[in-house]
Chain A
Amino acid sequence: MISRRDFLQASMAASALVGASGFGNWAKLAAQQRLTQDQLLEFETYGNVSLIHVTDIHAQLKPIYFREPEVNIGVGKNKGDVPHVTGQAFRKLYGIEDGSPRHYALTYDDFTALAREYGKMGGMDRVATVVNAIRADRPDALLLDGGDTWHGSYTCYHTQGQDMVNVMNALKPDAMTFHWEFTLGQERVRELVGELPFAALGQNIFDAMWDEPAAEFAPYKFYERGGVKIAVIGQAFPYMPIANPGWMFPDYSFGIRDEHMQQMVDEVRAKGAELVVCLSHNGFDVDKKMAGVVKGIDVILSGHTHDALPEPVLVGDTIVVASGSNGKFVSRVDLNVEDGKMTGFRTKLIPIFSDVIAPDPAMAQVIDEQRAPYAAELSEVIGQTDSLLYRRGNFNGTWDDLICDALIEEREADISMSPGVRWGPSMIPGQDITREDIWNVTSMTYPEAYRTEMTGEFIKVVLEDVADNIFNPNPYYQQGGDMVRIGGMGYAIDVSKPQGERISDMTLLSTGEPIDPAKNYVVAGWASVNEGTEGPPIWDVVEAYIRRKGTVSVTENDSVKVSGT
């Protein structure tokens, strides 16, 4: 059993960062002087095993701003539970002071003011410094990458993931699992996975033809660390061919496959595993449910839904750790394993303040090498922003409002749709928007900005379908994205209703008239999962729009009325 005392220790480690009260009235330098690298790394080594978890980096090699969500609604049993707690309520729950570094890192409000004080976060050279420091404490720490690593930037797209493979190889992880990687296409995935100097894991990656475990991906791997026999079981994103274009990787099938997961846990226990770690890309609520269904997992390192939690969540005897996204955090998980049982843990979600943590020079050089061939294209300034641009939130974000406006204007549409993905860094008012910034929120291998006609009835079907992927009360039916973003149309949603009854009051904003189910509307969108979609890449559409505007301003969007929370 995990003792209450160790749980308290975990929270204390998490609270090691002490912030100052008040915000907006002291200079950036003063703010940073209150933070030191030693303070960020401070950790009393515990037990006999250390795990280091990074996940959902989305190819962000350089420091970025990343605003956490304001709206993140939990449904069913997860209503009101983390990670569905945001802003002030989140700070109250974890005892985080207003205006403190952790306020900035973990919550959304006063983002622009705090971003100016605390600076950008992440950067794989800073992540390398943190990983090296943990390895100095515990040389045989296991470094585990939860996936969504080879996706999300200009250089990653143009090198087909090679830049990230090179950088991660330099960081020397012990294993990884997968999601967006597969959108590179199955040939490229096999090519990259075949050369990895570490384990490519996924107990739920199956051969689609034979419905058997795929040969290229091991379900688990054993490690002996600190005298402890550790099994790491991989769990790739379960809904890859549904949420992403299945035609790009037709040989593979996924799914949660929790019965097969149980078989793997039983198998590794029978082979003598004293500690069972699941490296997961399920998403947090799915992981919580799976922790209750599958018996015998000690630690789930959770990815996909981009949640950053200062403490693990306990489900029975399993701890579920969420380590954020975009290189903004690294989790350190120290465990005590005795006589084949995990008896305690101590964790720290280490925020990567890029102005406080020194870049690792060797990694900085590797990163520069990846970017150098594209320096001119990356740095070209396309325009400026007057507004805070961010993506995260269940229904809309200003980046997608901008993209939806661009689609309507550049593609002459009545209504526009932008996918509810959770990747894409933020920008603060006054920043230049470079080509790299545009690619950071649009880069993908199916970027075609389509233009088509849909009936009002079909638009409702789309909204109902996507809404059920987020708000179905059973986490196993949730795909972990956010609601499709809509431009040019408002609607009301009652998240507590079943599929088919959630969406109402669809209104065409340009005329104020209700959407007619029988009428055809011109709809522009991007990221269709259908093969053969045609149109210019979304980054060209957005670049043309920003170039034309010069400076972009995004006004507050209140076109989605939410109830049933």
Chain B
Amino acid sequence: MNFTRRETMVIGAAAAAAATLPMPALASKTEDLIAEFTGGAEVGEGGVMLDAPEIAENGNTVPIEVSAEGAEAIMVLAAGNPEPPVATFRFGPLAGAHRAKTRIRLAGTQDVVAVARMADGSFTKTSKTVKVTIGGCGG
């Protein structure tokens, strides 16, 4: 059998993007955005839920869900994206559920952050690392 040099393949460009890791500059950008959202108030833990896959099936469309019982607003940040802000969901006093679901694009492996402003004016935060990987060697 003859194999020619023309039988080639190209590994997706997405794989190269996966190598880009969050830079320290982006981390401080996230800190700044949180400070802006909270007005510098102390941020606690617990009470806000963030559901995201451990490893993204497709970094271009990653399903996430946030919820915080009794929250007035939940801000979502993708800490490793060139532009970290994703969305801020606001809930009115008559909201039946304090829950939102969307799909986001992640430039690479990074932390997704959710910060909730509760009805009493306090803030609470959670985060989850989502891996964006080349994949391809599962047993």
Q: Is B54 an interface residue (CB 8 A)?
A: yes
Q: Is A65 an interface residue (CB 8 A)?
A: no
Known: A254-B57, A452-B8, A535-B7. A529 touches B21 (CB 8 A): no
- By a CB distance below 8 angstroms, the chain A residues around B139 are 243, 304-306, 420-423, 480-482
B: contact size bracket: 20 to 34
Please give me the residue from chain A that is nearest to B130 by CB atom.
A477
Choose from B1, B11, B135 the contact partner of A540 (Cβ within 8 Å).
Answer: B1
Q: Is A429 an interface residue (CB 8 A)?
A: no
Max chain B CB contacts within 10 Å: which of A306, A465, A535?
Answer: A465
Choose from B9, B51, B56 the contact partner of A450 (Cβ within 8 Å).
Answer: B9
Q: Is B19 an interface residue (CB 8 A)?
A: yes
Q: Is B25 an interface residue (CB 8 A)?
A: no
* Beta-carbon contacts under 8 Å, B20-67 to A: 21, 51, 53-58, 63
Stretch at the interface among A2-10, A11-19, A157-165, A234-242: A234-242
In the assembled complex, the CB of A447 is this many whole angstroms from the nearest CB of chain B, namely 13
Q: Is A514 an interface residue (CB 8 A)?
A: no
Are B5 and A477 in contact, CB atoms less than 8 angstroms apart? no
In the assembled complex, the CB of A530 is this many whole angstroms from the nearest CB of chain B, namely 5
Are A454 and B137 in contact, CB atoms less than 8 angstroms apart? no
Are B12 and A530 in contact, CB atoms less than 8 angstroms apart? yes
A29 to B39, CA, bound (A): 81
Choose from A255, A422, A482, A533 the contact partner of B9 (Cβ within 8 Å).
Answer: A533
Q: Is B18 an interface residue (CB 8 A)?
A: yes
Known: A419-B136, A461-B19. A454 touches B11 (CB 8 A): yes
Q: Is A466 an interface residue (CB 8 A)?
A: yes
A: contact size bracket: 35 or more
What is the predominant secondary structure among interface residues of chain B facing chain A? loop
What is the predominant secondary structure among interface residues of chain A facing chain B? loop
Q: Is A348 an interface residue (CB 8 A)?
A: no
Are B11 and A528 in contact, CB atoms less than 8 angstroms apart? yes
Q: Is B10 an interface residue (CB 8 A)?
A: yes
Are A239 and B138 in contact, CB atoms less than 8 angstroms apart? yes
A544 to B3, CA, bound (A): 11
B interface with A by C-beta (< 8 Å): 1, 3, 5, 7-12, 15-16, 18-19, 21, 51, 53-58, 63, 101, 109, 129, 131, 133-139
Extra 10 A-B pairs, beta carbons < 8 Å, given A484-B137, A527-B136, A534-B8: A306-B139, A450-B9, A461-B19, A461-B134, A466-B134, A483-B137, A528-B136, A529-B136, A530-B9, A530-B10
